[in-house]
A and B are shown apart, each in its own frame.
Chain A
Amino acid sequence: MILDGKCPSGPIAGKWEKHRHEMKLVSPANKRKYRIIVVGTGLAGSSAAATLGELGYNVEAFCYQDSARRAHSIAAQGGINAARNYPNDGDSVYRLFHDTVKGGDFRSREANVYRLAEVSGNIIDQCVAQGVPFARDYAGYLDNRSFGGALVSRTFYARGQTGQQLLLGAYSALSRQARAGNVRLYPRTEMLDLVVIGGEAKGITVRDMVTGKIRCHAADAVCLCTGGYTNVFYLSTNAMGGNVTAAYRAYKRGAFFANPCYTQIHPTCIPATGDHQAKLTLMSESLRNDGRVWAPKIRGDRRPPQEIPEEERDYYLERKYPSFGNLAPRDISSRAAKEVCDDGHGVGPGGRGVYLDFAGAIERLGEDTIRQRYGNLFEMYERITDENAYKQPMRIYPAPHYAMGGLWVDYNLQSSIPGLFVLGEANFSDHGANRLGASALMQGLADGYFIIPCTIAHYLAQTRPDAVSAGHPEFVRSVEETETSIKRLLSINGRKTVNEFHRELGSIMWEHVGMTRSRESLENALRRIPELRAEFRENVRVPGREEDLNQELEKAGRVADFLEFAELLARDALYRDESCGSHFRVEHQTEDGEAVRDDANFCHVAAWQFRGADKEPELHTEPLAFENVRLAVRSYK
């Protein structure tokens, strides 16, 4: 099937305006008759739930954490982009749009990206109005910094905790609506199934993580704002609880999964130290504003960094990409780091690291300025590594960080199941094959504050409110199926822990479906994942009871889904026989190791449809047309 993204016609700059005018509205008096479920309370979920509640809809918001404020958007450090051109350095909506399309290596949908750039400024205003304490200059104006993949300063920030402050802003708006009775919050609740009735999404099945009770919630529309799936690699910068379960179970109910192979490996993370490692910690990309990345020129050089003279250091990003230098996009920087380490120039344990050096910046600007800009990041680095980055360079290495792929959505953020909307990282639409820094926060909030309130009304206006109740047979069936699969997990009583399986899956994925991929590595992964999955089904040990707070059971359900989803990811990576953005197939590269796209055959979205357990999914495509940005070879030299 050829999928239709349903982008409005006409010139790109007028599409959203025109579309907003053409969409149907729900009258103020009727809004409260509609119930909307929002799953996940990160930037996308909190902003959506708060805004929809404020508009008068009956909203139920769910999260697996103990409070909506703890969703993993909270950990975003560096900043949020907006095309405000406050520094007068030549920025514009068009330039942000252009940078994002180019940064995504021409694999995103133009109309969506333009709209994102268009509303980016409103997001900053909204957050300021909520009391987000963005950095200011002495005159009291908003301050900006630069991020990778851009030559302008358009990133707004709140120290190294921008995500935290934006999320707390959205959480405060959400709290206000909870108080007003427009939003009902369900923390410590995990979505385990999507209920589809008559081809439309009509509710979800959840597990109360305290009592273990499985129950249903019926609604007129469902918004999934459940984040990305990078924990499929086991070690990633995501929160421990981050999972693909909600999205994957929606996929099993008919929602198409688009471009799962687009996974971002972030270049600046703290290297792993051993097998016990539970997760990896990111050091904000903003550090690359003042830090210089280098590795020793001599292979296996074990001298302390301070003793390596200037001429024996390879500032490889500055050397290879003179115009963007240390601010080259994430995919390029990550691969470059892996390359120098594979070539024997890596530093630290196992040679898996490169230096991020602030000595020059400290000499130029003084330690106080650097402390003011990045103090909390340097502290975090010190706590984890016991090293003082003011005195010696940080050691960094790439780590899985973000999923550009996600459930397929059209321009209205509606999935292939009517009534199921997907927002934020959980959808696929805006970042193509690589996301630029400080764009995730922008997208989450754009979707939640400004896009879904318009597009969901268009859907609801054509739907009768309260059409089904939670007593409908489909809900009963969903509860039964969910209970059965939980019982099955608990009854296996094998010899390996859930974590052991997860770690093994992660090592397959990192080794064979990680930063560089080949036909051989992917075929290898596609052999090993089903084997591991089969072993999991026979040999996992999940202790405890179902009707109790049971963290091993929670993990087991998520890892079971990762074990299925990983195969879809690898399959998509094998199908995409080109290199683009984060997806690097060794068969397709230039002599100096840059990605080579195949626009003739792959200038499209690959969206997969579930065809049954252990069966091959069916592929659908959405052609991508580039009418405003010239399809070109991405160059950051």
Chain B
Amino acid sequence: MDLTLYVWRQSGPASAGRLEEYRAKDITSDMSFLEMLDVVNAELVRAGREPIAFDHDCREGICGMCSQVINGVPHGSREKTTVCQLHMRRFRDGDTIYIEPWRAKAFPVIKDLIVDRSSLDRIMQSGGYVSAHTGGVPDGNAILIPRDDAETAMDAAECIGCGACVAACPNGSAMLFAAAKVAHLAKLPQGRAEAARRVCVMTEAMLKEGFGNCGNHYECQAACPKGIKVKFIAQLNREYIKAHLKDGRDT
């Protein structure tokens, strides 16, 4: 199939970007979306032009590196699928495709489709962990975790940190991202000890990084390639309120 692409090109954080038109020719339906871009890039290189810069690495939907808004939808329209796992059989010959980077205040564009997501790392650094030392921990079976709790924790822990939730949110909020970690650890006995502190510092870090607040649009859930549910945001809110009641913190 042949396609027309409009791709966001931006040479650096300070420069103005624009959509540029490209042709993708002889694309087969079993190619992945990124393999289609590989084909386009190879043509650009042969023609002496600069290829389109985009983030990608594992190409199996787990590293969270790929990050493109396709026809207005982060990771494209197939649900629970990262860009790298999106295949061209979802498109038709003659289609026009718009490809843009994540857009959010907290994700400045570095080049073309590549954005800076280090703000997500800083949210994690603020408290997205259990303060366990290496060594000196009890036997894994000394901490019993009912199967359903382990499964719920896993549902939240599946977050790949890609930032599609932020890109999808009209407020540019990282609430689903933060909530996934808060809920994962709050569900487990190991994580309870620090649950109150964790939810407070992570929420604070999120706002400090320039992410917006949650407006209950649920766009994040729709865009999440791992199907992380907004119910975890409710749990974050619950943990947040509990933390303030417990500590008598000023809300």
Contact = CB atoms under 8 A, between A and B. Distances in A.
B85 to A, nearest CB: 5
A140 B190 contact: no
B55 interface: yes
B71 interface: no
A142 B141 contact: yes
A159 interface: yes
14 contacts: A69-B64, A75-B62, A75-B63, A126-B132, A159-B158, A164-B160, A173-B134, A176-B125, A276-B28, A380-B60, A383-B87, A497-B42, A541-B46, A548-B111
Contacts of B85: 380, 383-384
B25 interface: no
A416 to B, nearest CB: 28
Given A69-B161, A278-B32, A549 B110 contact: yes
Contacts of B184: 131, 133
Given A128-B190, A549-B110, 10 more contacts: A68-B121, A75-B58, A129-B137, A133-B150, A240-B56, A276-B38, A281-B60, A383-B61, A497-B46, A541-B46
Given A65-B57, A134-B150, A50 B134 contact: yes
B134 A453 contact: yes
B247 interface: no
Contacts of B131: 176
A125 B28 contact: no
Interface string B118-135: 101100111111111111
A383 B59 CA distance: 12
A449 B124 contact: no
Closest A-B pairs by Cβ, 3 of them? A140-B144, A172-B129, A129-B137
A157 to B, nearest CB: 11
A543 B49 contact: yes
B196 interface: no
Contacts of B121: 67-69, 175, 178, 185, 187
Which residue among B134, B145, B153, B185 has the maximum number of chain A CB atoms within 10 Å of its CB?
B134
Contact of A278 (B35, B62, B125, B191): B35
Given A125-B137, A276-B39, A67 B114 contact: no
A635 interface: no
A495 B45 CA distance: 9
A70 B161 CA distance: 9
Contact of B130 (A141, A172, A543): A172
A75 B157 contact: no
B70 interface: no
Interface of A: 47, 50-51, 54, 65-72, 74-75, 84, 86, 122, 124-131, 133-142, 158-159, 161, 164-165, 168, 171-173, 175-176, 178-179, 185, 187, 210, 239-241, 273-274, 276-279, 281-282, 379-380, 383-384, 386, 449-450, 453, 495, 497, 499-500, 541, 543-544, 548-549, 551-552
Interface in B4-41: 12, 28, 30-32, 34-35, 38-39
Interface in B135-175: 135, 137-141, 143-147, 150-151, 153-154, 157-158, 160-161
Contact of B30 (A71, A273, A380, A552): A273
A54 B134 contact: yes
Nearest to A178: B125
Contact of B118 (A138, A171, A187, A241): A187
Contacts of A139: 144
Contact of A70 (B12, B64, B126, B139): B64
Contacts of A54: 133-134
Contacts of A138: 146-147
Contacts of A171: 124
Contacts of B114: 549
A549 B111 contact: yes
Nearest to A143: B147
A384 B45 contact: no
A450 B133 CA distance: 12
A153 to B, nearest CB: 15
B214 interface: no
A51 B136 CA distance: 13
B132 A175 contact: no
Contact of A65 (B48, B63, B127, B139): B63
B138 A129 contact: yes
Given A125-B137, A449-B134, A66 B129 contact: no
Contacts of B117: 66-67
B50 interface: yes
Contacts of B50: 543-544
Nearest to A164: B62
A499 B157 contact: no
A380 B78 CA distance: 13
Contacts of A552: 45, 51
A53 B241 CA distance: 34
Nearest to A139: B144
A51 B132 CA distance: 11
Given A67-B118, A86-B141, A141-B144, A386 B89 contact: yes
A67 B60 contact: no
B229 interface: no
Contacts of A449: 134-135
A186 B114 CA distance: 17
Contacts of B126: 179
A173 to B, nearest CB: 7
A159 B135 CA distance: 25
A128 B140 contact: yes
A129 B124 CA distance: 17
Contact of B125 (A179, A276, A551): A179
B144 A210 contact: no
Contacts of B58: 70, 72, 74-75, 239-240
B81 interface: yes
Contacts of A158: 154, 157
Contacts of A551: 51, 53
B65 interface: yes
Contact of B55 (A66, A276, A279): A66
A542 to B, nearest CB: 8
Contacts of A176: 125, 129, 131
A137 B149 CA distance: 11
B80 interface: yes
B130 A130 contact: yes
Contacts of A84: 140
A315 B160 CA distance: 37
Contacts of B154: 133, 158-159, 165
B207 interface: no
B164 to A, nearest CB: 14
A286 to B, nearest CB: 15
A7 B85 CA distance: 46
A495 B26 CA distance: 21
B188 interface: yes
Nearest to A187: B118
Contact of A384 (B28, B87, B127, B143): B87
A282 B32 CA distance: 16
A161 B158 contact: yes
